Chains A and B, each alone.
Chain A
Amino acid sequence: MSTVRFPVVFAAALLSLSGVAFAQTEPPPGQDEGQLVVDVTGGQRAPLPIAVPYLPTPQETATAAGGTGALGRQVADIVAADLRNSGLFTPIGPGGLHAVSFPQVTAPDFPYFATTGAQNLVQGFVQANGNGSLTVGCYLYDVAAQSELTRQGYVIQPRDWRRAAHRCADTIYSRLTGEGAYFDTRIVYVSETGPARRRIKRLAIMDYDGANHRFLTNGQWTVLTPRFAPNQQTITFMTYQDERPRVMVYELDSGRTRPLVAGPNMTFAPRYSPDSRHIIFSMAVNGNTDVYRIPVAGGTPQRLTNSPGIDTGGSYAPDGGRIVFESDRGGSQQIYMMDADGSNQRRISFGGGGYATPVWSPRGDLIAFTKTGGFRIGVMAPDGSGERILTGGGYAEGPTWAPNGRAVMFTRGASAGELWYVDVASGATRRVPTPLGGSDPAWSPLRP
C-alpha cells in the first residue's frame, strides 16, 4: 500500500486563500465582582445537524479516478455518510443544497445555510495538481457564529481519493465531538460462505465502510480471528492449513505467511502488543490451554498463565503494562487481569453470568467483552465496575475497538455471520456491508 503524504506546505497554501475575518474585539474589562452575570443552562442529546454541500472544483480536470467535479460530489457523499454512520450527526445534503462556487468555499453564504437548519457547515474543493496528484480541501464552519472552526488539506494519489474524504470527515468529527478520529481505517475479517457444516472461510480486508474489499486467502483452509499489528505491517491469524491449527503472521506488503510458533501444539487467539513487537496467544498442550507471549519475529514462547482452567483471549492495555484475558479456572468463563509479565493475576468480572473475549479500548478507559449468558456485547471499566450492555436483539460476540475508543465492531449471528458496529456513548448501531457473510472483525488503527 502506498503511503499518503500530507505536507504542511499545502496547509500553509490554503491559509493564503482569503479566510473569514476572525477579529476579536476585547470588551473593556469589568470588575468581576461588579459584573452582571447571567446563568444559562441548556442543550440536547440529539444528532448535530450539519450541512455538507457538494465540493466544487476550481478547474474541471480528468484524473485516473474520474473528473474532479465528479470526485467533489463523491467526496461530499462519503463525508456525509461517515458523519451519519457515527450516529452523532444529521447531515443536510449534499443533494438538495444550493451549489457552492469555488470562491464561496472560503466565504460561505451563512444566511442561506442558516435557513437549512444546519448548525455547522462543511465546505471544500477537489483540485488536480499538475503532477498527477490531487488536493482535497476541507473547511468546517459554525453557521450561527459565522466563523471558521478548522481547515485541512490533503494531497493524495487519485486511487486514494476515498481516504482524503475519510480524513476530512475525521477532522470534522473530531472537532465537533471532541473524540479521536476513526473513519480512515480498515477492517480485516473472515469472509464466510457455504453450508453451515463446512463453511468456506477466507481472510479479507476492506475500508471500514466496506469499500476497497479484497481477499487475502483463497478459502482452501479454514481461517479464524485475524488481528492487525498496531504498526499495520502485519496481520496475525489462525489457520487450519494442512490440518495443523496454528497462528500465522502475514506480511501485508509481500503477502508472505509464516507460522508464529514452532511445535505440534495448537496455537490460537493471537493479539499484538501495543509496540507491535510481541504477540500473546493461546496454546493447548495435552488438553490444557494457557496464554503465552512470543516476539513477532519468532523465538521461544514465554508462558504467562499456568492454571488448570482454560485461559485464552488475551488483550493488552494501550500502555502495554497489563493484559486482560478470560479464564474458567473458577468454574465459569470470567475476565481476569494480569501484569504484562504474567504476575498479579486477579479476576475483575463479578457481574453475574459468564464473560468472554475481553478487549481493552485504545483509550484505556473501558474493556469490551461478550456476555455469555445471552451473547451480548458489553463494556466495563478496568476495575470491573460500570458494566453496560451495548447490544440487544440477537446473538453477538467478538468485539473489536475503533482506534478512538468510541465504537465497537462485532459479529452478529451464531452461524450466518454479519458485521455490525455500535457507538459506545450513543448506542447507535449500523451494519457494515460485506460481499458475503462475515465474522471475527478486527479494526485497524488510523492509517498513517
Chain B
Amino acid sequence: MDRTEAAGLGVSLAGHVALLAVLSAALVTASRAPVTPPAMEVSFVDDVGLTSAAPEPSRQPAAPAQAPEVGPTEDAAPAPAAPAAAPRPAEPAPSPAAPQIAQAQPRPAPPAPAGTARATRRPGLGDLDPRSFGRDPAARSVSPPAAVMSAQAAADIASAISRQVQPCADRQVYPGPGSERIATPIMLSLNRDGSLKGRPRVGAQRGIDDENRRYAQRVADLAVNAFVSCAPLRGLPQELYDVPRGWSNFTMNYRLPG
C-alpha cells in the first residue's frame, strides 16, 4: 500500500474511533429513563357516593409525636409539637395534625416511647387491593370504621363475588325457550368466613310470562345452584362484612344468558 492510501486509512480509523468515543460518552452521560409509576387500579363505578366515605377524623387527641432523635431543645415555647415534629422525608411517622385521608383506617399515633415511632404502611393509590383493605393484624383501632360502604367498595365487592360465582353459573343447564327472560333474586346470608349461613332464600322472580312459566321453578333451582356450587366465597374484606350494605347479607340476581 502506498503512502496516500495508508494516510487515508489512518484518518478513517481515527474518525471511527473518535465517533465511537463520542457516542459512548453520550451514552454514559444520558439520564436514566423515567421510572414507570406503579399501575393504578381502576374500576368503573356508575354511581358516585353522595356520602363521604372518608374516615372520620379520630376523636382522640393526637398524641404528640416524638422524633427518633431529639434535637437540642431550643428556646421554644412548649408549643404543640406539631411544628417541631414536621415530618421529614426519611421518617414515615404519621403527623397527628395532618388528616390521614389516604388510609382507610386512621391510626392515631399512639403515645409511643421515644424512638419507637412505628413505621406504618401507608398504602398509596397503586395497591388498592381488597385483600389489604386496612388489614393490619396489629392495628387496634378504636375509632369507628367507615360509616357506609362506598360505591367504589360495593362495586369492587360485587365484582369479586360475581367472579367467584361465574364458573358455577356457567354450568347451569338452560331448561327451555323463554327461560332466559326470568330473573331470579336470591337472598344470601354468609358467615364471616364466606360460607353460607342457612339456605339461600329465593325472592320474587321477574319476567315470567305464559310461555316460560313452566321453567320458573327450575330457574330458581339454577340460581341457588349457581351460588352454592361455588360457596364458600373467599377473600372478602372483614371490615365490610357487617356494615350497612355489607356482604353479610346480600342479594344475587341470577338469569340465564339470552
Which residues of A come within 8 Å of B, CB atoms? 23-28, 30, 32, 34-48, 119, 142, 144-145, 147, 149, 175-179, 365, 425
Contact = CB atoms under 8 A, between A and B. Distances in A.
Given A176-B175, A178-B214, A38 B162 contact: yes
18 contacts: A24-B198, A28-B249, A30-B249, A37-B158, A37-B253, A39-B253, A40-B162, A41-B256, A42-B169, A42-B257, A43-B180, A44-B172, A142-B224, A144-B228, A144-B229, A149-B221, A177-B175, A178-B214
A230 B241 CA distance: 60
A27 B188 contact: yes
Interface of B: 149, 154, 157-158, 161-162, 165-166, 168-177, 179-180, 187-189, 197-199, 201, 211, 214-218, 221-222, 224-226, 228-229, 244-247, 249-257
B72 to A, nearest CB: 56
A45 B172 CA distance: 9
B172 A40 contact: no
B199 A37 contact: no
Contact of A142 (B157, B216, B225, B251): B225
A39 B255 CA distance: 8
B218 A178 contact: yes
A168 B138 CA distance: 60
A24 B199 contact: yes
Contacts of B211: 365
Nearest to A49: B173
Contact of B171 (A27, A119, A178): A119
Contact of A41 (B215, B250, B251, B257): B257
Contacts of A38: 158, 161-162, 165, 250-253
Chain B binding surface, main DSSP class: mixed
Contact of A25 (B149, B197, B250, B251): B197
Contacts of B175: 176-178
Given A42-B254, A178-B217, 13 more contacts: A27-B187, A36-B158, A36-B251, A37-B158, A37-B251, A41-B255, A41-B256, A42-B171, A45-B173, A45-B174, A145-B228, A177-B175, A425-B176
Contacts of B173: 43-48, 119
B218 A176 contact: yes
A43 B256 contact: yes
Contact of A179 (B161, B176, B244): B176
Contacts of B168: 42, 144
Contacts of A41: 169, 254-257
Nearest to B160: A38
A40 B250 CA distance: 13
A175 to B, nearest CB: 8
B22 to A, nearest CB: 64
Contact of B226 (A42, A147, A175): A42
Contact of B172 (A28, A32, A39, A43): A43
Contacts of A144: 168, 225, 228-229
A36 B198 contact: no
Contacts of B177: 425
A39 B180 CA distance: 14
A86 to B, nearest CB: 12
A24 B249 CA distance: 15
List the 7 closest A-B pairs by CB distance, nearest first: A25-B198, A42-B169, A27-B189, A36-B250, A43-B256, A144-B229, A178-B214
A44 B171 contact: yes
B236 to A, nearest CB: 11
B244 A34 contact: yes
Nearest to B250: A36
A152 B168 CA distance: 29
Contacts of A32: 251
A300 B233 CA distance: 73
A37 B250 contact: yes
Nearest to A28: B249
A395 B229 CA distance: 46
Identify which of A24, A38, A145, A149 gathers the most chain B CB atoms within 10 Å of its CB: A38
A28 B218 CA distance: 26
Contacts of B253: 37-40
Contacts of B170: 42-44
B245 A177 contact: no
A313 B10 CA distance: 109
A27 B250 CA distance: 10
Contact of A24 (B174, B201, B217): B201
Contact of B245 (A34, A142, A145, A365): A34
Nearest to A114: B229
Nearest to B169: A42
A24 B189 CA distance: 11
Contacts of B174: 43-45
A178 B177 CA distance: 11
B171 A26 contact: no
B245 A35 contact: yes
A56 to B, nearest CB: 26
Nearest to A89: B173
A365 B250 CA distance: 39
Nearest to A363: B214
Nearest to B166: A42
Contacts of A40: 162, 165-166, 169, 226, 252-255
A26 B187 CA distance: 9
Contacts of B169: 40-43
Given A41-B256, A142-B225, A178-B176, A26 B201 contact: yes
Nearest to B177: A425
Given A24-B198, A36-B157, A38-B161, A142 B221 contact: yes
Given A24-B198, A43-B170, A145-B225, A36 B154 contact: yes
A25 B162 CA distance: 23
A28 B256 contact: no
Contacts of B225: 119, 142, 144-145
A71 to B, nearest CB: 30
Contacts of A25: 189, 197-199
Nearest to A30: B249
A281 B196 CA distance: 62
Identify which of B171, B198, B249 gathers the most chain A CB atoms within 10 Å of its CB: B171
A208 to B, nearest CB: 20
A257 B171 CA distance: 54
Contacts of B217: 175, 178
